[in-house]
Chains A and B, each alone.
Chain A
Amino acid sequence: MSAAVAAEPAKVDPMYQFTIKPLAELELAGFDISFTNSAAWMLVTTIVLFGFVLGGMRRQLVPGRWQMAVEFFTSFIDDMLQANIGDAGRKYVPYVFSLFMFILFANILGLLPLGVVGLHPFTFTSHFTVTGVLALITITIVLVVGFWKHGLHFFGLFVPHGTPLAMVPLIFVIELFSFILRPFSLALRLFVAMMAGHVLLEVLSSFVIDGTNAGALWGGVVGLPSFLLMIGICALEILVSGIQAYVFALLTVFYINDAENLH
Chain B
Amino acid sequence: MPQIAQLADTYASQIFWLLVFFGLTFFVVGRGMVPKVMSTVADRDSQIAADLAVAEAARAKADGEEAAWRKREGDNRAAAQALVAKAKADAAAKAEKKLAAAQKRLDTKLAKAEAEIAEARNNALAEIEDVAVEAARDIVRRLAGVSVTKPAAAKAVKEAMAHG
Select B3's contact among A18, A26, A60, beta carbons within 8 Å.
A18
- Contacts A15-B2, A46-B21, A50-B25 aside, 18 further interface pairs with beta carbons under 8 A come to A19-B6, A35-B13, A35-B17, A36-B14, A42-B18, A49-B25, A56-B33, A61-B47, A71-B40, A71-B41, A94-B34, A94-B35, A126-B3, A129-B3, A129-B7, A130-B14, A133-B18, A134-B18
Question: Is the beta-carbon distance between B10 and A20 smaller than 8 angstroms?
Answer: yes
Question: Is the beta-carbon distance between A128 and B3 smaller than 8 angstroms?
Answer: yes
A97-105, A201-209, A238-246: which one contacts chain B? A97-105
A80 vs chain B, min Cβ distance (A)? 13
**Contacts of B43-97 to chain A: CB distance below 8 A:** 43-44, 47
Select B2's contact among A18, A60, A94, beta carbons within 8 Å.
A18
A33 at interface by CB-CB < 8 Å: yes
Residues of chain A within 8 A (CB-CB) of B7 are 129
Residues of chain A within 8 A (CB-CB) of B22 are 42, 98, 102, 133-134, 137
Point out residues on B near A: beta carbons under 8 Å. Answer: 1-3, 6-7, 9-22, 24-26, 28-31, 33-38, 40-41, 43-44, 47
Specify which of B16, B18, B24 lies most central, judged by the most chain A CB atoms within 10 Å of its CB.
B18
26 CB contacts below 8 A, A to B, read A20-B9, A31-B13, A32-B10, A36-B10, A36-B17, A38-B14, A39-B14, A43-B17, A46-B21, A50-B25, A53-B29, A56-B33, A67-B40, A75-B38, A78-B38, A93-B38, A94-B26, A95-B30, A97-B30, A97-B34, A98-B26, A129-B10, A130-B14, A130-B18, A134-B22, A137-B22
Count residues on chain A whose CB falls below 8 Å from chain B CBs: 56
Residues of chain A within 8 A (CB-CB) of B34 are 53, 74, 93-94, 97-98
Chain B contact surface mostly: helix
B30 vs chain A, min Cβ distance (A)? 3
Q: CA separation between A39 and B34, bound complex, in Å? A: 24
B32 vs chain A, min Cβ distance (A)? 9
Residues of chain B within 8 A (CB-CB) of A59 are 36, 40
Residues of chain B within 8 A (CB-CB) of A36 are 10, 13-14, 17
Residues of chain B within 8 A (CB-CB) of A74 are 34, 37-38, 41
Q: CA separation between A19 and B2, bound complex, in Å? A: 5
Q: 4 nearest interchain CB pairs?
A: A94-B30, A39-B17, A98-B30, A31-B12
A163 at interface by CB-CB < 8 Å: no
Residues of chain A within 8 A (CB-CB) of B33 are 53-54, 56-57
A39 vs chain B, min Cβ distance (A)? 4
Select A15's contact among B1, B16, B25, beta carbons within 8 Å.
B1
Residues of chain A within 8 A (CB-CB) of B30 are 93-95, 97-98
Residues of chain B within 8 A (CB-CB) of A181 are none
Digit string of A1-13 for contact with B (CB within 8 Å is 1, else 0)? 1100000000000
Digit string of A84-125 for contact with B (CB within 8 Å is 1, else 0)? 000000000111011001100000000000000000000010
Residues of chain B within 8 A (CB-CB) of A95 are 26, 30
